[in-house]
Amino acid sequence: MTPSREQILAAASPWLAGLLNVLPGLGTGYIYQRRWRAYWITSALATTWFVLGAVLDRDLDAVLQADAIQRNQLYGLAGFLLLAGVTAAEAVITARRVRGGA
């Protein structure tokens, strides 16, 4: 008999799911929880953020490029950290909710 979605989430450790979404990469905690839709949404958002940064970086003026590249890198890092933080919190909250608030 295959375990249900709730049984899989209840068996997953909330803190480990949150940690996996931050440290090794975006959405890894969702793979641990077997939440494929959330993983693919996170992957799509991260890819979109990366492509947007690359497109905006390409159009920079040569004179402004040194300062602007550094600023764009900070924006890119901040966006990925925000995405990691939000997905980590969501993974922890969902696992705790399924466990009954544990």
Domain spans in the chain, listed from the N-terminal domain onward: 5-99
Distance (Å, rounded) from C-alpha 64 to C-alpha 69? Answer: 8
- What percentage of the chain exceeds 90 in pLDDT? 32
Reply yes or no on whether the pLDDT at 101 is more than 70: no
DSSP letter string, 59-82: T--TTTHHHHHHHHHHHHHHHHHH
- DSSP helix/strand/coil, 12: coil
pLDDT 10s digits, 52-96: 888 877 766 655 667 777 787 888 899 999 999 999 999 999 989
Residue whose structure tokens are 């709730």: 6
What region does 67 belong to: left with phi over 0, alpha with psi -120 to 50, or beta? alpha
Q: What is the pLDDT of residue 84?
A: 92
